[in-house]
Amino acid sequence: MLKVDSVLLEFDNRKILQDIYIDCRPGEVTGLLGRNGCGKSSLLRIIFGVLKPAYKYINIDGNYINNGYSSGKIAYLPQHNYLPKHIKISELAKSLISNEDWDEFTAYDTFQEISNKKPGELSGGQLRKLETLIILYSKADYILLDEPFTHISPIQAEEIKAIIKKRSAFKGIIITDHQYRNILKVSDKIVLLSNGTTKVITSNDELVTYGYLSSL
């Protein structure tokens, strides 16, 4: 199980994150919701290990993790495109996809149609879908998805949701996006980030109570 506790993040003496607890276990999708600028992406970057907070405690199965990505157990889909533009997609995928999942990954039309192209040759939607697929089939046990539904069409979002559910059978997934309906649909558990703290949401009505939604 991935546990993230006691994160303290400050910018210019302003506390962005201060009372954080979030956990995730393989077989589970945790949806992270919150308003613009509340620190959702910052929290994911802290877990991944590319943003240094004043304090954090992250462990996987009881073992303290100083840097998520170098442990090889955490993969992260950032908000913006991350694949190097000058390398063929089939080559790029080989470094991230596990051997046991390779056949299943390469069977997707998303991959087959573009495997001989380079990321710079794809449309925004194609690239975003491919990047999400690569992260979901990566070797890591825990997956952090930052806005996977942004820049893709509704039909692509449906496909991505189905793949997230499929992959969550083997992996723990933390997902955040402003398209909250997609998050509610795909998640087993919802955590709201508000005023720098996390709150586990037990019913959708609480999203209104805590001011994330004006109505359901």
Partner 1 sequence: MQNLLRLFIHFTKPFWLYHFIFTVLGFYIIAGGGLVALILALPLKLAGYLGMFAYQTFFASQEFFYYRNAGVTIRSLFMLTFAIDMLLFITAVTIYLSLKSSHA
Q: Which residues bind partner 1 (CB under 8 A)?
A: 48-50, 67, 69-72, 75-76, 78, 80-87, 91-92, 94-96, 135, 138-140
Q: Which residue matches tokens 């533009």? A: 85
State which H helix or E strand residue 130 sits in: helix 124-136
Instruction: Count CB atoms within 10 A of the CB of residue 40.
Output: 22
User: Closest separation between CB of residue 84 and partner 1, Å?
Assistant: 5
User: Closest separation between CB of residue 129 and partner 1, Å?
Assistant: 16
User: Closest separation between CB of residue 86 and partner 1, Å?
Assistant: 5
Nearest residue (CB) to partner 1, 50 versus 107: 50
Spatial contact of 40 and 193, defined as CB atoms under 8 Å apart:
yes
User: Closest separation between CB of residue 87 and partner 1, Å?
Assistant: 5
User: Closest separation between CB of residue 71 and partner 1, Å?
Assistant: 8
Spatial contact of 74 and 47, defined as CB atoms under 8 Å apart:
yes
Nearest residue (CB) to partner 1, 144 versus 190: 144
What amino acid occupies position 146? D
Spatial contact of 182 and 148, defined as CB atoms under 8 Å apart:
no
Nearest residue (CB) to partner 1, 67 versus 209: 67
Nearest residue (CB) to partner 1, 50 versus 208: 50
Across 1-33, b (16+ Cβ under 10 Å) vs e yields: ebbbeebbbeeeeeebbbebebbbbeebbbbbb
User: Closest separation between CB of residue 173 and partner 1, Å?
Assistant: 15
Nearest residue (CB) to partner 1, 49 versus 148: 49
Give the Cα separation of 144 and 8 in Å (integer): 19
Nearest residue (CB) to partner 1, 14 versus 86: 86
Give the Cα separation of 123 and 82 in Å (integer): 14
